[in-house]
Structures are given as C-alpha cells and as structure tokens.
C-alpha cells in the first residue's frame, strides 16, 4: 500500500471540539457536495454522544456558519457520520474504532486534539493495526519548542513513517498563499529582479485589531511567536525566499521550502522585540505578572546566494491598529530621481501579497501625474482574486490528505528548522514591553528597521 492511496475512511479525533464546529464540519460538507467524500467518517471523543447527536451537532455547526445547506447533500454527509465515545487511554476505545473501520485498507486518522494526547492516540491506533497502511494528520502546534517537537516526532514515527504523516498548517491551504507560488514561478518577468540586487527589504505583517477574546487560559500558554510566527509567517517567508522547485512533485516543493528555512540565521536577542498590550494581564485566565507576548517583531537574515544582506522583518500581534495580513516586497529606488516633484521624492516600487482583509496582489509604480508638468506620482496595479464559493483552506487540505497529496503540508525537517529559528526567542529573550491597544505595537520595534526604512503597513 502506498502513501498516496485514496482514503476509504476518515477517523476524526476531537470531533466534539471547537475546531470541528468552526471548520471541519463545513469542510467535510463541502467535500461531500463535490463528490469527494463518500466514505465513513468516524468521530471520536469522550463526550456522551451517539450517531444521531453527532449528526445534529454537524447540522447546528453548518447553520452557525451562516451557509445555505442543501438537504440532499447533508443527508449524504450525515449517512457517513458515526461516533465512538471513549477514553484515549482505554484500549477498548481503539477496538471499537477498528470495528467501525472494518475492511478499510487506507484510513486517515486526523488528530484535532492537544499534542499532549498524541502519544496515547498513536499507540492506540498501532495497537489495532490502523497504522500499517493508514495516514496520520496532525493539527498544530507541533510541539512547544525545539526539544518538544523532536520528542513529538519520535512518538509519531515509532508507528507512522514520515511519508504518511501530514502536518496541517491551514495558511498553506489559503488561495492567496497558493497564488503567491503561482505568481512567483509562472511569470518570468519577476525572476530577474527577485534577488538581493533589486529587493531592498521584505516586511511580513499579521495584525489583528482585537485582543484574545476570552481565550486567556489558552493564549497565556502560547503567545504570538508560537501561535503564528513559528508556523504561518515563517511558511510565508519560505514561499517568498525559496528557489524554483525542480518539478511540481510534493517533495520538490517541500524541499525548497525547507532549504529556505535552513538558510535563515538564528536571530539574536537584539533582533527580537516582544510586546504586550495594556490590560492583557487583567484578562480572565491570564496569570498575574504574565510575560506572554501578544506582539512580536523579529529581524531575520536569509543567508543564501539570492538573499544575503536583504533584511526580512516579521511582525505579528493582537489589539493593533487594524486587521491585516500581508507580505510587502520593497524594491530598490532608481539610481537617481527623474521627473520628480522637488517637494516629494518618488517612493520605491512595492509588491504586496495580501490575505486579509481581502485577497489580492498589488504593485505600486510611478506614472505621469495628469497635467502639464512632467512629474511622476504613485499608482497601484491591483489584482483581486475571489475566494472559491464554499471553499476554505481546511476543505483543500482535508481533500489533499484523503487523496494522499502532501504538497501543502509541513514536513518534519521544516518544522524543526522553524523551531530552531524561534527557539532562543522563546527561551532567552528580553521581557515584554507594553503598548497601547489600537497602536501598531511598542515603539521599540522600530529599531529593528534600518534608519532609512519605516513600517510599511500602518
């Protein structure tokens, strides 16, 4: 049995949880509507549900999402749903799962559960032989630091080889993020300028204008670096920095992403600023005197032939000035200004890849200002691409896991490189500095930029 076999059963651990309610039921419904999910979906959790309860909860989750529900599609979806109640430490739980999956030869086990439970579930799957030909899908976080990520990998790979382990980072399933790869490698006009000779610097921002929204006990154990920098934003950086893959094969794509991460120099303490918004410590569930960051800015260097000397800055945080996720590539200025207004020097060309609040790519250039004077002014060339209706990143990633395509999943060597990059940030960095809600983070982050540079997104 190969790693790319078409799945014939999905086992979903943690089906009563928040992720299933917010994302997974919708993704499974959409896959059913697209005729890509005609197999048993075995939900597993400890709550005292049965098959009918699970189906009612699935309907309620779809209604809660505000979508239009096709009754016939839902009937097809619900007919495949079945539920196993049990404790992950009880061998009888896995025997009941195996009975529900009887005769299935290519199961996909999705662990939408905390990493602390992975060991029990992986051991339980192996105890009933569901590891022999099946695949394992892991939901982030993949550890809390480099050491725990190594330990987690050892647990998983005792029973599942790497080629059958799929680590979900839902950012890689987003249309706009995938379009970043297409835009880079399908347009030859970019390749001659996509290097240190023409790129002045890159800024990657993930800002949210809201706080932790009642998730204090969760967020205080995680923080911004673990929550979005180590995974989402470093993946975006890798897509921008990677070399062209030798083919479209999954390993070729992932090889280049990992090479880009390996080229990142481990940041020093002075390359990192951690912040915390005013009032965070008063949030329910947050420890008194908490040093958990709600903002992080990190200056990085990609020490490769293409990028040596080009500054990369990642910035992420909560309770900031607006909600925006984007990567901005700023190009070098012309060697001398021509057709410039004496009072205003033309700005540099910039290419912006944005996923929030809307999906799009824009390119800022200079063109003639209307009127008699021969002077330039900035214009924006903007590409908007619609999100496919009814599609979500989990829809794409779940479908890929079921058919055995690992292209958009994180590989273990990439995960370890990402943890290597941020590990010292988590263990040996300076204490958080305060910033006001609605601002763009602590002013201390400005020192990460060159003197002739400023934050682009404000």
Does the annotation mark 232 as catalytic? Answer: yes
Alpha carbons 84 and 173: distance in angstroms, whole number = 29
Please give the C-alpha separations between residue 334 and each of 105, 190, 199, 382, in angstroms, as whole numbers: 61, 17, 12, 22
Q: Which two structure tokens, joined as six digits, stand for 246?
A: 């030798």
**Dihedral angle computed from the Cα positions of residues 201, 206, 210 and 212, in that order, rounded to the nearest 10 degrees:** -120
Is the bond leading into 100 cis (omega within 30 degrees of zero)?
no
DSSP 364: E
Strand 295-301 relative to strand 272-277, pairing:
antiparallel
Find the catalytic residue in 159, 170, 197, 232: 232
Alpha carbons 429 and 341: distance in angstroms, whole number = 45
Alpha carbons 95 and 8: distance in angstroms, whole number = 18
Count Cβ neighbours within 10 Å for each residue of 105-136 and write b for 16 or more, e otherwise. ebbbbbbbbebeebbbbbbbbeebebbeebbb
Residue with tokens 């800022």: 364
DSSP β-bridge partners for residue 166: 137
Q: Which two structure tokens, joined as six digits, stand for 456?
A: 């682009």
The H-or-E segment that residue 366 falls in is strand 360-368
In the chain, how many H helices and how many E strands? 14, 15
Sign of CA dihedral 298, 303, 306, 307: positive
Alpha carbons 160 and 167: distance in angstroms, whole number = 13
Neighbouring residues of 389: CB distance < 8 A, sequence distance ≥ 6 = none
Does residue 13 contact residue 110 with C-beta atoms inside 8 Å?
yes
Rounded to 5°, the CA angle 20-26-28 comes to 85
Does residue 410 contact residue 167 with C-beta atoms inside 8 Å?
yes
Residues known to be catalytic: 232
């Amino acid at each position: 049995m190969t790693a790319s076999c078409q799945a014939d059963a999905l086992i979903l651990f943690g089906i009563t949880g928040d992720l299933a309610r917010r994302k997974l039921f919708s993704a499974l419904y959409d896959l059913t509507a697209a005729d890509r999910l005609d197999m048993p979906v075995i939900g597993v959790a400890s709550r005292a549900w049965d098959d009918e309860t699970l189906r009612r909860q699935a309907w309620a989750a779809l209604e809660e999402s505000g979508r239009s529900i096709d009754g016939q599609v839902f009937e097809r979806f619900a007919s495949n749903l079945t539920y196993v109640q049990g404790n992950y430490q009880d061998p009888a739980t896995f025997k009941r799962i195996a009975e529900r999956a009887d005769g299935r030869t290519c199961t996909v086990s999705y662990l939408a559960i905390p990493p602390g439970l992975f060991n029990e579930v992986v051991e339980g799957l192996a105890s009933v032989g569901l590891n022999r030909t099946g695949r394992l899908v892991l939901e982030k976080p993949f550890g809390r630091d480099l050491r725990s990520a190594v330990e987690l990998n050892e647990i998983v790979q005792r029973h599942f080889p790497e080629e059958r382990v799929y680590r979900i980072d839902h950012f890689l399933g987003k249309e706009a993020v995938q379009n970043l790869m297409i835009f880079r490698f399908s347009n030859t006009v970019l390749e001659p300028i996509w290097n240190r000779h023409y790129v002045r610097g890159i800024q990657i921002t993930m800002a949210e204008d809201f706080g932790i929204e009642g998730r204090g006990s969760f967020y205080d154990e995680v923080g911004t670096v673990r929550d979005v920098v180590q995974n989402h934003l470093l993946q975006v950086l890798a897509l921008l920095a990677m070399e062209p893959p030798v083919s479209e094969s999954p390993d070729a794509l992932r090889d280049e992403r990992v090479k880009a991460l390996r080229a990142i120099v481990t940041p020093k303490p002075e390359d990192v600023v951690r912040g915390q918004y005013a009032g965070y410590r008063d949030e329910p569930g947050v420890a008194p005197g908490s040093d958990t960051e709600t903002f992080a800015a990190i200056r990085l260097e990609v020490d490769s032939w293409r990028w040596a000397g080009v500054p990369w800055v990642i910035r992420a945080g909560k309770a900031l000035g607006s909600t925006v996720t984007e990567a901005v590539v700023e190009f070098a200025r012309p060697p001398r200004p021509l057709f410039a207004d004496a009072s205003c020097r033309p700005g540099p060309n910039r290419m912006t890849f944005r996923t929030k609040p809307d999906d799009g790519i824009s390119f800022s250039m200079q063109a003639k200002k209307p009127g008699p004077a021969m002077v330039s002014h900035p214009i924006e060339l903007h590409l908007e691409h619609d999100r496919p209706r009814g599609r979500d990143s989990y829809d794409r990633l779940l479908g890929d896991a079921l058919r055995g395509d690992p292209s958009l999943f994180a590989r273990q060597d990439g995960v370890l490189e990402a943890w290597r990059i941020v590990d010292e940030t988590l263990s040996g960095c300076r204490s958080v500095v305060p910033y006001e809600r609605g601002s763009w983070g602590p002013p201390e982050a400005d020192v990460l930029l060159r003197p002739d540079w400023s934050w682009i997104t404000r």
